[in-house]
Structure 1
Amino acid sequence: MPTDWRRALAIVAHPDDLEYGASAAIATWTDEGREIGYLLATVGEAGIDGIAPAECGPLRVREQRASAAEVGVTSVEFLGYPDGVIEYGTALRRDFAAAIRRHRPELVITLNHHDTWGGTAWNTPDHRAVGRAVLDAVGDAGNRWIFPELAEEGLSPWDGVRHVAVAGSPHPTHAVDASAGAERAVRSLLAHRTYIEALTDEDPERYCRTFLDGMMAAAGRRFGGRPAVAFEVFSH
């Protein structure tokens, strides 16, 4: 995994998107003194069937902030797009480009933008729209003639993004040793307790540990044998 960066911005659709895989790597990176911020397109208000959106949204925001803190991330922002019906387009690209210009990262992290998770496991519309808009917004952020109003708002172009790392991709190219961050990754996913309790009847901690251990072991078999978090990395 490239290490020529000090500052990263993770842009995903929902609370828990980063915790289902990337957080062990993020814990490792924050241990190294790297600065990482989170930007979420939605507050995940449509994610729990038994809780109405007006109640669910604030609850999931609280859980996401607690989850981020477990891996050393204190900057967590929400754009407030409607959960489940995000549309790819220039508005989304503009908001992501603005965030990239504001945070000025060398690494951008997002979640799988492909149609599937591999095989016949279909990806969700929000993940596809957000992931593709993130990849496009990296170029938008560095071009002064795309969304010129951003410069007028004080957000000057930023072409310093060197890499985009896509978590959960069915086409991984790089990996991060997850050994040091594995326990904090479990705690980070477990912080989404209300969501997990609605998702499964299994003990929440057992569920989190089983899922993450399996995912990191599977990645490790492809990348050197140690527990790992895999990414598809695009360089700029």
Structure 2
Amino acid sequence: MTLAEFPTDWQRALVLMAHPDDPEYGTSAAVAEWIAQGKDVRYVLATRGEAGIEGLPPEESGPLREAEQRAACDRVGVEVLEFLGYPDGRLTESLDLRHDLAAAIRRHRPDGVITLNQGDTWGPGTWNSEDHRALGRSVLNAVGDAANEWIFPDLEGPRHQVKWTAILSMNPTHAQQVSEESVDKAILSLAAHSRYLQALDSRPVEEQAAEQVRRAIARDVGGPAVSFELYGL
């Protein structure tokens, strides 16, 4: 597969995803690479992931997962992290979600937006959750909403048009090459979600994190890289 080089003519990107840990499954290696280059990358997450840990009630899980996400951000150098406060596991393609995502885009005014796979699957036999699908599709619409002065006239700030939208897609078009140092930072970033990972697998969290991150960047593009499908170029 021949993928184009990821754009370099930008300074700020906004990562819009559904849950704590979503940015860490591959994207964070690219984020670490970009921040090392002096770029500004910010995270806005729709939920706090409070329904994500078996046996741990949401009122305990939410604050824990928020804290783990802040630790994960620290490990790749992300300084700005926001939560929109939507209920975990119950995201829908609502006008409210589009409104709040468009507001985030206007507030942060990124050159590009990075979001989740909005398709039904992650490949044969692997279903994609409704939260991911609803978030990804809503982001694609919110990009247009943020640039339109009439759809949500109550939004603060001038309208804003991003240059590109990058999706963690099963049909990538562009690849961001990453260094081994960035890969290591991404592994540490995913491992910061220690309580979450402990609930998924009995193996050490560092082992799980290394396996997941390296799997995510293992495409044959001439070296370690994170692959995206880009819209808007």
**Residue identity opposite 1:26 in structure 2:** V
SS of the residue corresponding to residue 149 of structure 1 reads: coil
Equivalent of 2:228 in 227, 231, 236 = 231
Equivalent of 1:157 in 138, 159, 174 = 159
1:120 deviates by: 2.6
Kindly provide the CA deviation profile for residues 98-145 of structure 1, in whole angstroms up to 9, marking residues without a partner as x.
000010001101111111112231100000000000011001001001
In structure 1, how many angstroms separate the alpha carbons of the residues matched to 2:56 and 2:84?
21
Residue 37 (structure 2) pairs with residue 35 (structure 1): no
Give the equivalent residue in structure 2 for 1:202.
203
- CA RMSD, Structure 1 to Structure 2 (Å): 1.0
In structure 2, how many angstroms separate the alpha carbons of the residues matched to 1:54 and 1:73?
26
In structure 2, how many angstroms separate the alpha carbons of the residues matched to 1:19 and 1:85?
21
Normalising by structure 1, what TM-score?
Answer: 0.94
Give the equivalent residue in structure 1 for 2:106.
101
1:4 deviates by: 1.6
In structure 1, how many angstroms separate the alpha carbons of the residues matched to 2:66 and 2:191?
14
**Residue identity opposite 1:175 in structure 2:** A
Give the equivalent residue in structure 2 for 1:142.
147
The unaligned stretches of length 5 or more in structure 1 are none
The unaligned stretches of length 5 or more in structure 2 are 1-5
**Residue identity opposite 1:67 in structure 2:** A
In structure 1, how many angstroms separate the alpha carbons of the residues matched to 2:14 and 2:215?
26
Give the equivalent residue in structure 2 for 1:190.
191
Equivalent of 2:27 in 16, 22, 25 = 22
In structure 2, how many angstroms separate the alpha carbons of the residues matched to 1:120 and 1:204?
25
SS of the residue corresponding to residue 25 of structure 1 reads: helix
Give the equivalent residue in structure 2 for 1:66.
71
1:216 deviates by: 1.5
Normalising by structure 2, what TM-score?
Answer: 0.95
Q: Which moved more, 1:200-209 or 1:171-180?
A: 171-180
**Residue identity opposite 2:170 in structure 1:** P
In structure 1, how many angstroms separate the alpha carbons of the residues matched to 2:152 and 2:212?
41
Equivalent of 1:125 in 105, 127, 130 = 130
In structure 1, how many angstroms separate the alpha carbons of the residues matched to 2:174 and 2:194?
30
In structure 1, how many angstroms separate the alpha carbons of the residues matched to 2:227 and 2:55?
33
SS of the residue corresponding to residue 23 of structure 2 reads: coil
In structure 1, how many angstroms separate the alpha carbons of the residues matched to 2:157 and 2:54?
39
Residue 16 (structure 2) pairs with residue 8 (structure 1): no
Give the equivalent residue in structure 1 for 2:96.
91
1:90 deviates by: 1.0
In structure 2, how many angstroms separate the alpha carbons of the residues matched to 1:215 and 1:141?
30
In structure 2, how many angstroms separate the alpha carbons of the residues matched to 1:227 and 1:59?
31
**Residue identity opposite 2:104 in structure 1:** A
Percent identity of equivalent pairs: 52
